[in-house]
Amino acid sequence: MPARTVLQRADIARALTRISHEILESNRGGSDLILLGIPTRGVVLAERIAANLEAFEPGSGVVGALDVTMYRDDLHRHPTRTPSPTRLPAGGVDGKTVVLVDDVLFSGRTIRAALDAIGDLGRPRAVRLAVLVDRGHRELPIRADFVGKNLPTAAAERIFVRLEETDGDDAVSIEGIA
């Protein structure tokens, strides 16, 4: 089944702008706010959101990266995952509102791993979740606070997120698995 493009560059930019505004409104400004992107595309999305936050409210675009590889419960099925470095802003996460940023929310297992990883790094005041795409099919009771697009999918479909920084263009597509 051929891939079907559901979001293009302008759609992604609008979704990230909306998410950025929602984050600032929810946090009542940008103070004590940290965005932690989950590699690979979550980091790129976090950096884009941070640039928006910085443009809307200078000083609020604090961003880092959170590698969850060693916290995953599926390493036995995918043992060749390459860990990425975790980068925390100066001062860490203690007492801050942390917004985890990822490209696609599916089963919830990556976010569970991220919550475990954050617990080892400190004690944030609150943890929120921002995703570009929520495709459903949750296996764990995890829900995104900020969603770019809800894309209900069949179990036999896959979502592909392409971003300029990693893939050369911006697009989200759905492809059926044969």
pLDDT of residue 78: 67
pLDDT of residue 116: 96
Q: What is the pTM of this model?
A: 0.94
pLDDT of residue 84: 86
4-69+91-176 under CATH 3.40.50.2020, yes or no: yes
pLDDT of residue 101: 98
pLDDT of residue 177: 73
Residues of the chain scoring pLDDT < 50: none
Residue 67's contacts (CB-CB under 8 Å, 6 or more residues apart) are 38, 39, 83, 84, 85, 86, 117
Q: What is the pLDDT of residues 62-72, one digit of tens each?
A: 999 999 999 98
pLDDT of residue 111: 97
pLDDT of residue 73: 84
CA dihedral 103, 90, 24, 151 (to 10 degrees): 10
pLDDT of residue 97: 97
